Amino acid sequence: MTKRNEIALDFTSVPPDEMAARAASFRALMGRRRTVRQFSDRPVPRGIIEDCVMTAASAPSGANQQPWTFVCVSNPAIKHEIRLAAEEEERRFYGDRASAEWLEALAPLGTDAEKPFLEVAPWLIVVFGQRYGTNAEGGRAKHYYMPESVGIATGLLIAALHNAGLASLTHTPSPMGFLNAICGRPENEKPMILMVVGHPAEGATVPAIGRKPLHDVSVWRE
């Protein structure tokens, strides 16, 4: 049994007025986030990506196992390889794998098998989830709630990137197994999300779609 070791909580209480102001301003900030599919090749310094990844890696996780690896790619040759492999999968997806119902659901987004952003954008962050880890004896350590944990971390990553003034796209070419080979990750790691990160292209446009209002996304029992 591992011994528990406790330290004082580092927590600053916020007065009600300031709490309301902060909640509202963060809502407004995040409300302006849009998924971007047209990227500029303008570079983004690695330090900014490092900070955003460390925000993501601060996420809560099952048993604090932190079951994630963020593979950060700016190397043009590797981005090119990822683009070619992703487009091959996407051609199959749009060509025959996707159901008519799925394609209809995607229609408002205007997506297709062409993924130029995978090499135009300065950074790709491939988020891998570790299905299991390694214990002290070198054996397999079961990981708990990996998909949920990686989902939370990815949400923080998206918020951190937006807060830093960067655009992102949560891209999920399916299946994504090719990313293990290209990124050199072991078989216990499952590619969960391919994040495209950078500045939007000059004059970028986004689909005219909105978000559900509060009463459609929440139920209150007060």
Q: Which residues bind ligand IYR (CB under 6 A)?
A: 90, 93, 106, 109, 111, 171-174
Give CA–CA dist 156/154, Å, rounded: 5
- Closest to ligand IYR by CB, 60 vs 207, is 207
- Smallest distance, Å, CB 102 to ligand IYR? 7
- Closest to ligand IYR by CB, 58 vs 174, is 174
| Segment (H or E) for 19 | helix 16-31
Burial status of residue 61 (CB atoms within 10 A of its CB: 0-12, 13-18, 19 or more):
buried
- Smallest distance, Å, CB 88 to ligand IYR? 12
- Smallest distance, Å, CB 139 to ligand IYR? 36
Backbone region of residue 145 per phi and psi (left: phi > 0; alpha: psi in -120 to 50; beta: other values)? left
Residue nearest to ligand IYR (CB): 111
- Closest to ligand IYR by CB, 134 vs 172, is 172
Give CA–CA dist 83/119, Å, rounded: 7
- Smallest distance, Å, CB 9 to ligand IYR? 39
